[in-house]
Structure 1
Amino acid sequence: MADDRDRADTTAPTEGEAFLARVPMRDEDGAVREAFIEDVSGSIQRGDAGFLRSLVGELHEADLGDLIEALEPELRLRLIELAGKDFDFSALNEVDESVREEILEELPPQTVAEGVRELESDDAVELLEHLPEESQEEILERLPASERRMIERGLLYPENSAGRRMQTDFISVPPDWTVGQTIDYMRETPDLPERFYELYATDEERRLRGAVSLDALLRARRPVPIAELMDEERRRVRATDDQEEVARLFGKYNLVAAPVVDQDERLVGVITVDDVVDVIEEEAEEDLKALGGVTRDEGLSDTVWTIARGRFPWLFVNMLTACLSAFVISRFENALEKMVALAVLMPVVASMGGNAGTQTMTVAVRALATRELNRGNALRILRRELLVGVLNGLGFAVILGAIAATAFKIADLGAVIGLAMVTVLICAALGGLVIPLTLNRMGVDPAVSSGPFVTTVTDVVGFLSFLGIATLWFGLN
């Protein structure tokens, strides 16, 4: 009977498991349930530390991050305090930067230092990299010397570089070791990385000689030297390489891990595919925000003032371009007074041009980011986009021309808007490609700066072509 009770005790669900079974965290759409948030908030307010420690121990770091964001700001810090050592600080890398900084600034440096010690080196660097230097120093000085030096080295690398993303825990062995020696070493060494996909052969000066995948290692016989298994041409990255370049390397060569070397070819870390997935997501989000005039750091948890301040410059630039368009319209005041139909139809022409320009610009910016668009194929792509502009222009010229002529009972008006439509769509294709290429050649991020220029070109050309052709056609001077 005692044995049966012992077995029952070992299989009994924890308090956190029982709660998650009773109150699922997410609904059918993957959002955090309101009932779940309310129950957790109540536990935090009651100070139920035992339940909260059990709960955070059951949640994945990404789920814990979503829970933190869903809580009221005053409860987030309290949750971490009540969870104590059971709180996984890697969850803070899953929340908005503003939320993370707010929490880290409120927590005692010693508490953050203890949490950082449990993280892999790349997660620790990511957690601390955006804090003020004074806060970083307060936390780092509470770490053991070896761990502090490791994180400090990571923070010295440029932002968005491979050095910031790499893990400094890896397995390296001499190339003259045998498979048997290597396997025994991995079995007997307690402080190996928690997860790894390959190991590396290095010489006495830690220079990378090659890489050995785990499947090759496990299929080889014990007496086989590592030198016979290692891939000397293994793709590698430099610690100073941009993270976008690293992501492209992984995608192009289907890598799951890559060694990171310094300028002297010494092995200093490893980047794995989970880090690269984060980079791809971040860069895609950054480009999408930039195209919409939103700063890369803006998050849903930012304050009204922070968001307004970040969006103001883009809106100001767009105001200036709108003023230029208004100036062009004002030059045709007499024509607009004599033919009201022009005022009704001119927004259609400008809108079509703006949409066509945005389509071409989006494709061009993305192609530049992935290095698919370059000097070698730019002319061919330009010819293609111009032909697309001509075809779409002719198609919409027929459609809008028929609509305009029918609606306003003026046959020539259909011809005028048709000619304007062809003109503006050709210019939209030209501007949507040439402007990003020019900005990229000048060293300016085309994702950030292309929008206002393309909009200006399409609006000005749209108004100028439609009103100009109408003025000449109908003699409205």
Structure 2
Amino acid sequence: MTKHLSQQKTSVATLMGTPITDAGGAVHGRVREVVVSPAVDPSHVYGLILRGAKNDRGDRDVMVLITELMLTAQGAMQLRESVRPGLLPDDESYLLLERDLLDQQIIDVHGHKVVRVNDVDLVWESPQQPGGDLRLRVAEVEIGLRGALRRLLKGLPGAMVARITTRLTPSIIPWDFVDLIGRDPARRVKLKIEQDRLSQMHPSDIADILEDLAPAERHAVFLSLDEEVAAEALEEVKPKMQQALIEALDSEKVADIVEEMDPAAAADLLSELPEERSEAILEEMDPEERQEVEDLLEFSGNSAAGRMTTDYIALPQNAILSDAVEALRHFEGDNETISDVYLLDDEQRISSVIPLVQLLLATPAAPLADLPGAHLVTCDIDANGRKVAELFDKYNLRSLPVLDHDKRLVGVVHAEQVIGLLRAEH
């Protein structure tokens, strides 16, 4: 007789050691593991590993599929008639919830932090039709005291444990929001559920997560990011962490990431590496990106030139609005850093600075030189970091053009570079 289910809950900790009987009522084995097969269904339990039972080969640990179980009127798990013990799963793609999740670190992408799993909540689902198969859904992971206490009380009667633990406020993460930092011996990410969620987070949040992880897990997560996201995250972490993240990567892989970084940030990163390692990475970069970074490497990191980027938008002083729109469409740097368009004369000197907001108010054929310009504040290429910070503070700047000794525009310092400079000094 199958018990009517109304979203009846259990958990991995609760199931451990629970007996499963055969049709005659004899104990067939006790639950040792809960198995999920991500390739089949990442949201439902695939089977249970039992200890104490034997299969045809004499193994004492066997697996029973969830579809081979039923719940009695008393809520106990019982094998369906004629079910024989199966072989243990040896496919590495299986996820064992007790082994692979409990006490492991996971990324709470919803809360943008790293937490530890204390238990995994499961929900029995009624068959969709009479005589149909039971399903056991993976609902959420417990990261608070309730899950930890449930495991501490393991072995006591289930009803007693439930009465004690239900008094505690749950601290959970829905399964859909979980990113598991499991890794195989080759230190690759073993499984990532809802994999795209991490890439959609702000680079600063990803950087915080990386800094909270142990080295091996940190490396696994960093490798799982695409090159653009990895580059943005790398810009947000401290120099020592940057070196740790790229230490085990080959020069070609690092070059692919560095090419996606802001040139100034890339130059800062390479300047902290041993010369031989830095040269090897530069050799793997595309010529254009390599030249930009090599030019910046010549300058002191504390100077304006050492903090500037060559990613900016500059147009001839006779340009019109449609030219600016086209330049913005084809800009390969970080669009979020662009606050102004620089108009240059024939000598590459700044004739006007046009805030982006002015472009929104102009007609397509409007000459940019006729639009209201911002107050022009610049600094010399040799200006030190303190001077640059003072200019940003005094004039409330979002960006600061850097001029060479002939007053030609050679780069721009953005506010985020100044923030990075101030962090480095403290």
Question: Where on the TM-score scale, by shorter chain, does this alignment land: which range?
Answer: 0.5 to 0.7
Same amino acid, percent of matched pairs: 28
- Specify the alignment match of 1:280 in structure 2: 422
Give matches, 1:403-422, under 5 Å.
none
Structure 1 residue aligned with 2:344: 202
- Find the partner of 1:113 among 248, 251, 255: 255
The answer to whether 1:186 aligns with 2:327 is yes
Say yes or no: does 1:261 pair with 2:400.
no
Distance across 2 between alignment mates of 1:274 and 1:42 = 30
Provide TM-score, normalisation by structure 1. Answer: 0.49
What secondary structure is seen at the aligned counterpart in 2 of 1:250?
Answer: helix
Alignment partner, residue 176 of structure 1: 318
Aligned to 1:157: 299
Correspondence for 1:76 among 215, 218, 221 = 218
The equivalent position to 2:379 in structure 1, one of 237, 260, 265, is 237
The structural deviation recorded for 1:152 is 0.8
**What residue number does 2:115 align with?**
33
Q: Assess, with a 3 A threshold, how the Cα gap between structure 1 residues 266 and 56 changes in structure 2: closer, same or farther.
A: same
Q: Name the structure with the higher strand share.
A: 2
Report how many aligned residue pairs link the two structures.
Answer: 262
The counterpart of 1:225, out of the listed 367, 370, 383, is 367
Native 8 Å contact 2:358 2:371 kept in 1:
yes
Distance change (3 Å), C-alpha of 1:123 and 1:244? same
- Structure 1 window deviating more from structure 2 (106-115 vs 30-39): it is 30-39
Residue correspondence of structure 1 range 295-444 to structure 2 within 5 A = none
> C-alpha distance in 2, partners of 1:37/1:136?
44
Q: Is the 8 A contact 1:210 1:230 kept in 2?
A: no
Q: Partner residue of 1:385? A: none
CA contact (8 A) 1:255 1:273 kept: yes
Structure 1 residues 257-266 or 34-43, which shifts more? 34-43
Q: CA deviation at 1:188?
A: 5.6
Is 2:315–2:324's contact at 8 Å kept on the other side of the alignment?
Answer: no
Is 1:65 paired with 2:207?
Answer: yes
Pairing partner for 1:144 from 281, 286, 302 = 286
Structure 2 match to 1:43:
182
Aligned to 1:337: none
**Contact 2:301–2:307 under 8 Å retained in 1:** no
Query: Secondary structure of 1:88's match?
Result: helix
What is the alpha-carbon distance in structure 2 between the residues aligned to residue 246 and residue 173 of structure 1? 24
Match for residue 97 of structure 1? 239
CA displacement at 1:37 relative to structure 2: 13
Given that 2:354 and 2:374 are in contact with CA atoms closer than 8 Å, whether structure 1 keeps it comes out as no
Residues of 2 paired with 1:103 and 1:189: CA distance?
Answer: 31
Q: Secondary structure of 1:259's match?
A: strand
1:407 maps to what in 2? none
**Cα distance 1:175–1:47, how it changes in 2: closer, same or farther (>3 A)?**
closer
Alpha-carbon RMSD: 3.3
Structure 1 runs (4+) greater than 6 angstroms displaced: 36-39
Query: How many angstroms apart in 1 are the aligned matches of 2:399 and 2:202?
Result: 23
> Deviation at 1:41?
6.2
Tell me the alpha carbon deviations over residues 325-373 of structure 1, each in whole angstroms, 9 at most, x when there is no partner: xxxxxxxxxxxxxxxxxxxxxxxxxxxxxxxxxxxxxxxxxxxxxxxxx
Partner AA of 2:116 in structure 1: E
Q: What 5-or-longer segments of structure 1 have no aligned partner? A: 1-13, 16-21, 286-477
Distance in 1, matches of 2:234 and 2:352, equals: 35
- 8 Å CA contact retained: 1:208, 1:261: no
Aligned to 2:30: none
Q: Is the 8 A contact 1:125 1:155 kept in 2?
A: yes
SS of the residue corresponding to residue 293 of structure 2 reads helix
The aligned amino acid for 1:110 is E
Shift of 1:241: 1.5
Q: Distance in 1 between matches of 2:332 and 2:383?
A: 28
Alignment gaps of 5+ in structure 2: 1-41, 44-105, 118-140, 144-177
Structure 1 residue 163 displacement after superposition: 1.8
Corresponding residue for residue 48 of structure 2: none
Note the C-alpha offset of 1:281: 3.3
Report the 3-state secondary structure (helix = DSSP H, G, I; strand = E; otherwise coil) of the residue aligned with 1:123.
helix
Q: Is the 8 A contact 2:181 2:192 kept in 1?
A: no
**Deviation of 1:116 (Å):** 1.1
- Identify the match of residue 88 of structure 1 among 226, 230, 236: 230
Residue 344 of structure 2 contacts residue 352 of structure 2 at CA under 8 Å; is this kept in 1?
yes
User: Per-residue displacement from partner, 1:19-40 (whole Å, max 9, x unpaired)?
Assistant: xxx974587xx86433499975
